[in-house]
Amino acid sequence: MPTSRARKIIIDTDPGQDDAIAILAALGRPDALDVLAITTVGGNVPLERTTENALMMVELANRTEVPVHAGCAEPADRALVTAEYVHGPTGINGADRPTPTTAVAESHAVDAIIETLETADDEGVTLCVLGPLTNIGAVLERRPDLTPKIAELVLMGGGHFEGGNVTPSAEFNIYVDPTAAATVFASGVPLVMMPLDVTHKALTSPERIAAFRALGTEAGASAAGMLDFFERFDIDRYGSTGGPLHDPCVIAYLLEPEIFSGRHCNVEVETQSELTMGATVIDWWGATDRAANCLVMNDLDADRFYALLVDAIARL
Ligand code: BDR
Ligand code: CA
């Protein structure tokens, strides 16, 4: 059970193997993180599957008391784009797929996030956003008065030096719902961003995957199986030595922020041009006088990152 000192978080997600590992790691650290809810969104795979996958992860973690709320199936103003070509048809190919013993919670994710923020104490709630920003954009559109209750919003998305991964200039989570992403970056909420520039340095390796498998637990085996499946896409495309473990960067940041480095910058999102739709325009070099609205990460200690994840999943 979470301790009273644990930071209150909501994980908004579209699992996805890397989302799944982020969820497992967060649930493995109740001493530091109090996961109030997991809220799902259409993204890597359609909403029905992302929700089922989230239920499977709370099952695998033996944390079925954590409610899973299904959210928006698609952006308000665009058709959903999915990524089965990266994640496989289930979104979490490679994982053991335990049958969930719990059902999805009754309320919609957007209502659940609003209600949680309404009743939060002065410390507020941290939003961990691992997928397209559709649910969070809807929360901020409906209840901008609740922004003071968001202690911090830490998201995986965007890219600067690395460009994009779904188009030459756009990263998947931002590309799927650029309008919602623009709402988030304009919100005034304290933002921390894990773009491709940092996640492409969090690469798997045979040794790092073996460390999960060596735990000898169901969760460790699932994590290793998912990583085996997930890394093939990026190795093929980039010729890299491993696959980038994007979303767990968000959880690792909450646990050990000092393993990341970055700078405060202005970030805006392209919502008009079809050519560069969903690009994050990051003023890394201070070329404009636009005010900084985000802490943009650029580097991490990858060995420490993997050790932290293995340790968290070992505790399940
Ligand atoms: C992001 O998109 C998804 O494919 C991953 O789960 C991650 O959140 C990386 O661009
Ligand atoms: Ca994701």
Position in ligand 1 atom list of the atom nearest CA 196: 10
The residue contributing the CA closest to ligand 1 atom 4 is: 44
Mutation pick for ligand 1 pocket among 11, 12, 17, 18 (CB with most ligand atoms within 8 Å): 18
Instruction: Reply yes or no on whether 246 is catalytic.
Output: yes
Q: Is the CB of 197 under 6 A from ligand 1?
A: no
- Catalytic option among 160, 200, 246, 264: 246
Nearest of 185, 152, 196, 164 to residue 300 by alpha carbon: 196
**Residue-level pLDDT at 253:** 98
Of ligand 1's atoms, which has the minimum distance to the CA of residue 165?
10
Please state the atom number of ligand 1 nearest to the C-alpha of residue 244: 9
Tell me the ligand closest to 13's alpha carbon.
2
Pick the CATH number of 7-314 from 3.90.245.10, 1.10.1040.10, 3.20.20.70, 2.40.30.10: 3.90.245.10
Contact 48, 250 (CB under 8 A): no
SS3 183: helix
Site to probe by mutation for ligand 1, drawn from 136, 173, 177, 251 as the one with most ligand atoms within 8 Å of Cβ, is 173
pLDDT of residue 137: 98
Torsion sign, CA atoms 283, 286, 291, 296: positive
Among residues 240, 270, 268, 257, which one has the least CA distance to residue 305?
A: 257
Q: Give me the pLDDT at residue 281, please.
A: 98
Tens digit of each residue's pLDDT, the chain (316 residues): 888 889 999 999 999 999 999 999 999 999 999 999 999 999 999 999 999 999 999 999 999 999 999 999 999 999 999 999 888 999 999 988 889 999 999 999 999 999 999 999 999 999 999 999 999 999 999 999 999 999 999 999 999 999 999 999 999 999 999 999 999 999 999 999 999 999 999 999 999 999 999 999 999 999 999 999 988 788 888 888 899 999 999 999 999 999 999 999 999 999 999 999 999 999 999 999 999 999 999 999 999 999 999 999 999 9
Closest CA to 304 of 263, 262, 243, 261: 261
Tell me: the pLDDT tens digits for 232-246? 788 888 888 899 999
CA 148 to each of CA 48, 105, 116, 120, 267: distance values in angstroms, whole numbers, following the listed order: 31, 26, 13, 10, 20
Is the pTM higher than 0.95? The answer reads yes
Ligand nearest the Cα of residue 174 is 1
